[in-house]
Amino acid sequence: MGRSGRENRGPRRWSGAATLAVALVAAGASSPPRPELRIATAGKLLEEIRRPGAQVVVVNVWATWCLPCREEFPDLVRLHRAYVSRGLRLVLVSADFDDGREEQVRRFLTVQGVDFPSFLKEGDDMEFIEALSPRWTGALPATLVYDSQGALRHFWEGAASYSNMEKNVLDVLERKSSPKEEGS
Amino acid sequence: MTARGLMVSLAMVLALAVAGSGMVRADALALGGSAPKATTKMKNVDGKKVSIADVAGQKGTLVIFTCNACPYVKAWQDRIVDLGNSYLSQGVGAIAINSNDPSIVEEDAYDVMKDRAAKAKMGFPYVVDSGSEVAMAFGATRTPEVFLFDAKGQLVYHGTIDDNHKEAEKVTKTYLKDALAAVVEGKAVPLAETKAMGCSIKFKKA
């Protein structure tokens, strides 16, 4: 038995979080913060990756309709919460392209509990892909892990487990791998 | 855990199992290479079995990894079908291959393929790669992703359709069209490898 219908139907975790968010509002709790969205060309994104202050930068390119993206999203947010105090910067880049994408993306991020600035991909695909990593074929989701100097240390396509995400972040934080880019 | 939650978790475990099983996705086919699994018969939307070799044209052969559900495919669909159809009469055979597991996304099911092919007036086969073996052998990763072979059966173009999936009227680089034109004329393809974002192929479990 397959998952019903289109790729853009959310997994259980999303709908559960949405229910909680609605319940909080109904109970009179203040609305969750709406994350700021910034337009990201390849150049702007590289600036964000290289911006000083982070010990490790995780870039995740995703879309609201992408099933594996949605499945791994809660783990990305969890990873950020666990390691932000150790210098993790999570750079979430939506590749959504529908009209009205800003609202779709903001709604999803809000439900996921993202309360820091996030990005909307803009510009030529090939230029964008090559700027992040020539090893990226273009398939979504894609995750790239950079060190504090902005050097790409790990890259993978497709959804990852929390333990794999954490392993690659720790690898950079603890400077165990060589400076050369490695696959994951 | 709910039944649906269990299914989601199971699907993730199975996806990892594919990655760790004997079904290993090859690196993307290199330029100059010939089509792997060319004689593998796949079920077309008309119910007949057809292979890549069956559709090979005198001037070349276009292999398109595609699906029903992906928003990128939907955005490009008219252009993909127009190019495939228009070059059939110029000696370039074409085949669209759906390698996605419909148990992951129901919209990728065979019945939906039949409907999409009819509505798009697809003049070439749209087949089911039921075990995802053909996509794995090509090293395909996403939809849509195209591989174009010349008259000798050598890969001369790999990549995307053009530089603007969203707005056809704003396309400035017609990568696939240029490659097709070159193949028909027996000339070198101007840009042999291109990239664009796409939906990850939902590979079948081993």
Three-class DSSP labels, chain A? CCCCCCCCCCCHHHHHHHHHHHHHHHCCCCCCCCCCEEEECHHHHHHHHHCCCCCEEEEEEECCCCHHHHHHHHHHHHHHHHHHHHCEEEEEEECCCCCCHHHHHHHHHHHHCCCCCEEEECCCHHHHHHHHCCCCCCEECEEEEEECCCCEEEEEECCCCHHHHHHHHHHHHCCCCCCCCEEC
Confidence at residue B126, expressed as pLDDT on a 0 to 100 scale = 98
Nearest by CB to A125, from B28, B195, B199: name it. Answer: B195
Judged by a CB distance cut-off of 8 A, whether residue B163 touches chain A is yes
Q: What is the DSSP letter of B46?
A: T
Q: Which H or E element spans position B198? A: strand B198-200
Judged by a CB distance cut-off of 8 A, whether residue A126 touches chain B is yes
Mean of the per-residue pLDDT values of chain B:
91
Nearest by CB to A5, from B107, B196, B200: name it. Answer: B107
Nearest by CB to A66, from B12, B196, B199: name it. Answer: B199
Nearest by CB to B200, from A4, A13, A140: name it. Answer: A140
Confidence at residue A97, expressed as pLDDT on a 0 to 100 scale = 96
Confidence at residue B23, expressed as pLDDT on a 0 to 100 scale = 56
Residue in the structure block whose two tokens are 């099911």? B109
Are β-strands B49-50 and B42-44 bridged in parallel, bridged antiparallel, or unpaired?
Answer: antiparallel
Residue in B28, B55, B31, B61 with CA at minimum distance from that of residue B153: B61
**Is residue B159 scored above 90 in pLDDT?**
yes
Residue B205's pLDDT band (cuts 50, 70, 90): confident
Chain B residues touching A131 at Cβ < 8 A: none
Residue B9's pLDDT band (cuts 50, 70, 90): very low
Judged by a CB distance cut-off of 8 A, whether residue B192 touches chain A is no
User: A125: distance to nearest CA of chain B, Å?
Assistant: 5
Confidence at residue A33, expressed as pLDDT on a 0 to 100 scale = 67
| Gap between the Cα atoms of B3 and A162, Å rounded | 22
The reply to whether residue A159 touches residue B12, judged by beta carbons under 8 angstroms, is yes
Residue in the structure block whose two tokens are 């007949």? B48
Confidence at residue B18, expressed as pLDDT on a 0 to 100 scale = 40
Q: What average pLDDT does the segment B41-58 reach? A: 98
Chain B residues touching A4 at Cβ < 8 A: 106
| Gap between the Cα atoms of A33 and A31, Å rounded | 6
> Tokens in use for B82?
């127009």
Beta-carbon contacts of residue A19 (< 8 Å; ≥ 6 apart): none
Question: ipTM for the complex?
Answer: 0.86
Confidence at residue A34, expressed as pLDDT on a 0 to 100 scale = 78
In order along its 184 residues, chain A shows pLDDT tens digits of 334 334 433 344 444 444 444 444 444 455 666 789 999 999 999 999 999 999 999 999 999 999 999 999 999 999 999 999 999 999 999 999 999 999 999 999 999 999 999 999 999 999 999 999 999 999 999 999 999 999 999 999 999 999 999 999 999 999 855 545 444 4
Confidence at residue A176, expressed as pLDDT on a 0 to 100 scale = 54
The reply to whether residue B199 touches residue A137, judged by beta carbons under 8 angstroms, is no
Confidence at residue A18, expressed as pLDDT on a 0 to 100 scale = 44
